[in-house]
A and B are shown apart, each in its own frame.
Chain A
Amino acid sequence: MAKRWQNNLTWDDVTPKSAFMSRRQIMAGGAGAAAMLLAGRGRAETGDLVPNSYEEITAYNNFYEFGTGKEDPTANAGAMSTEPWSIKVDGIVDKPGDYAFGELIEGLTIEERIYRFRCVEAWSMVVPWNGFELADLLAKVGVQSGAKYVAFETAVLPDVMPGVRRGVLDFPYVEGLRLDEAMHPLTLMATGIYGKPMPNQNGAPIRLVVPWKYGFKSIKSIVRITLTDKEPPTSWNKANAREYGFYSNVNPEVNHPRWSQASERPIGGGIFAKRIPTLMFNGYEEEVASLYEGMDLSKSF
C-alpha cells in the first residue's frame, strides 16, 4: 500500500544551501526592504514550494507538554528518553498488544513526503517528512469490521514535561481520525525529518502527519493507537469545543472564532515576509475533498 501518493515536490525543489545562505546574508546585510521582499517564500499549488530549513522546523514547535512557548519544546524535550519506546495497539483489531517501536514499524516502507504544514495559529511551514502510511500500519495490526475511528494518545512523562506538571491541557494529549481519513494515502506516521530520526521536539520517535488538517491534529510522541466505533475525544476540542472541532480541516472560509484563517504567515521569510492565502484543505483539496462530500464544513469544522 505504500507509494500510493507521489510527491509532486522532490529534492529538486529544496532550496540549495548556498542559495539559502546567500539569502540570509542579504538579510544580515540589511540590504533594504526590496531585497528582503524578494527573499520571501513563493507559493503555488505545486512545484515551487520551498521546504523550511531543518533549523526552522526543529526550533519552532508547539508541544504543550514541554511548555507553551515556541522555543520551550526545543529547550525541554531533550530530557525525554525515547529508547525504549512502546506503543499500545488496542480496540477493534486482530493483533492488539504492546509493540516495541522497532517491532511496530518493521516491514513498513519509509518514504519521503514533502508536505505543507499549517498551524491553527495561522503560520505555516513546508516539511520534508520521512514516514510510512498509517494505512500500512493499520493493515499490519488488522482492523476488524466495526471499527470506525482511530484514536491516538501522546506519552505523559511528568518528570520531563513541565507543561504536564502545570496542567496547561487535560493530558494525555489525545487525537483521532475517522477510519477513512486514517486510511487515506496522504496520512503519514512520521519517524523522521530531512532523513534524520524525528527530533524529540517534533514528536519522537513517531507522530502522525495529516497535511490537510491543522497541525494540532498531527499528534506527537504516540504511545497508544486504539481502533474504536465511536468518535474519540480530542484534546483541543475538549479544551474549547467552540474553537476546535473534531475534523479541524484547513479551511480558509471557516474562521477561528478569535482570528481569521483566510491567510497565513510562512515561517522563515524574515520580518518582511508576505502573508499568503490559505488554501482549501491546505492545498490537498483534489486528494481529500471527496472524504467530506455532503458535509457542511462550517458545522463539522
Chain B
Amino acid sequence: MIAQFINSTLRKVPAWPLYVLGAVPPAWLFYSGVTGGLGVDPVKEMEHQMGLWGLWLIIAGLCVTPLRRWGNINLMKFRRPIGILTFFYIAGHLLIWLVLDVQIPSQILADIIKRPYVTIGMGAFVLMIPLVVTSNNWSVRKLGAAKWQKLHKLTYLAAILGGLHFVWLVKGWQIEPMIYTAVIVGLVALRWIPKRKRVAVAA
C-alpha cells in the first residue's frame, strides 16, 4: 500500500530537479568557506563535506535496486541523477584537495603514488569516469543493455574503495568510516542473493 502510494506519487515527480538540488550544498559550502562560516579550517571542512556527500550519494544509488526488489519501491528514474551527482561531488572533493589543500604538484603526485589511501581514492574516482561518460541514453543504446549493465557494476568497486579510503585516512580505528564501509559492503552483497525462480502457475 505504502509502496504503491510512493510509486504513484514519484511517478509525477520529474528527475531533473535533483541536479538543481544537488548544486545547492557545494555552492553553500563554498560560500560559507569564503565568508568564514566553516570554522577555522574551512579547507578541510569543505574537503570532508564533499567527500561525505559523495559517500551518501553513492550509498543512495546502491539502495535503488534493493528497494525495488524487496520494497517494491521504484526509484529507477532517480538513479542516473544520483550517480552523476556522486561523480561531481567526488570530483569537487578531489579538486579541493588538489587546489586548496595539497597545492604543490610534486607533492600531489607523490601522495597519489605513495599514500595508499590517496591511491585507492584516486582509483575509485578513475573507475567512475567511464560510468559518468556512459550515463546517457545514447550510450545505453550504443553499448546494449547487457554490456552497459556489466560496465556499471564498476559502481560496486568504486563504492567499496571510497569507503576504505575513508577508513584508511583517519587516525586510529574510528567508528563512522567503518559503519559507512559496512553499509556499502552490505548493499553490494545484496546483489549476489540469487533471484528466486518464478514458479510457473499451473493452468
> Per-residue CB proximity of A256-300 to B under 8 Å, as 1/0?
001110110101101111110000000000000000000000000
Cβ-closest chain B residue relative to A57: B40
B116 contacts A258, CB within 8 Å?
A: yes
A70 contacts B39, CB within 8 Å?
A: yes
**A residues within 8 A CB of B170?**
68
Inter-chain CA distance A273–B38, complex, in Å, is 14
A271 contacts B34, CB within 8 Å?
A: yes
CB of B143 within 8 Å of the partner chain: no
Please pick, from A71, A169, A262, the residue contacting B39 in the complex, using a CB distance under 8 A. Answer: A71
Q: How would you classify the secondary structure of chain B's contact residues: helix, strand, loop or mixed?
A: helix
**B residues within 8 A CB of A102?**
none
CB of A34 within 8 Å of the partner chain: no
Query: Chain A's nearest CB lies how many Å from the CB of B121?
Result: 12
B100 contacts A271, CB within 8 Å?
A: yes
Inter-chain CA distance A271–B32, complex, in Å, is 10
> Per-residue CB proximity of A221-255 to B under 8 Å, as 1/0?
00000000000000010011000000000000001
A60 contacts B111, CB within 8 Å?
A: no
**A residues within 8 A CB of B103?**
274-275
CB of B2 within 8 Å of the partner chain: no
Q: Which of A22-30, A151-159, A174-182 makes up part of the contact surface? A: A22-30
* A258 in contact with B100 given A56-B40, A70-B39, A168-B172 (CB within 8 Å): no
Inter-chain CA distance A134–B100, complex, in Å, is 39
CB of B173 within 8 Å of the partner chain: yes
* A258 in contact with B168 given A56-B40, A59-B39 (CB within 8 Å): yes
**A residues within 8 A CB of B43?**
265, 271, 273
* Residues from 64 to 98 in A contacting B, C-beta threshold 8 Å: 64, 68, 70-71
Inter-chain CA distance A123–B100, complex, in Å, is 13
Inter-chain CA distance A54–B102, complex, in Å, is 26
* Residues from 38 to 69 in B contacting A, C-beta threshold 8 Å: 39-44, 46
CB of A43 within 8 Å of the partner chain: no
> Per-residue CB proximity of A19-40 to B under 8 Å, as 1/0?
0000010011010000010000
Counting chain A CB atoms within 10 Å of each CB, which of B34, B36, B175 scores highest? B34
Cβ-closest chain A residue relative to B107: A260
CB of B166 within 8 Å of the partner chain: no
B41 contacts A70, CB within 8 Å?
A: yes
A68 contacts B174, CB within 8 Å?
A: yes
Please pick, from A27, A52, A236, the residue contacting B35 in the complex, using a CB distance under 8 A. Answer: A27
Inter-chain CA distance A21–B180, complex, in Å, is 40
Cβ-closest chain B residue relative to A52: B40
A168 contacts B104, CB within 8 Å?
A: no
* Residues from 102 to 147 in A contacting B, C-beta threshold 8 Å: 121, 123
A28 contacts B39, CB within 8 Å?
A: no
Query: Chain A's nearest CB lies how many Å from the CB of B70?
Result: 32
A258 contacts B175, CB within 8 Å?
A: no
A267 contacts B36, CB within 8 Å?
A: no
A60 contacts B100, CB within 8 Å?
A: no
**A residues within 8 A CB of B174?**
68, 168
Inter-chain CA distance A52–B34, complex, in Å, is 18
Cβ-closest chain A residue relative to B29: A271
CB of B12 within 8 Å of the partner chain: no
**A residues within 8 A CB of B116?**
258
User: What are 5 A-B residue pairs whose CB atoms fall within 8 Å in the complex?
Assistant: A52-B40, A70-B39, A236-B171, A262-B107, A270-B36
9 extra A-B contacts, CB within 8 A, seeds A123-B44, A262-B107, A263-B104: A60-B41, A68-B170, A70-B41, A121-B171, A258-B116, A263-B107, A265-B43, A270-B36, A274-B103
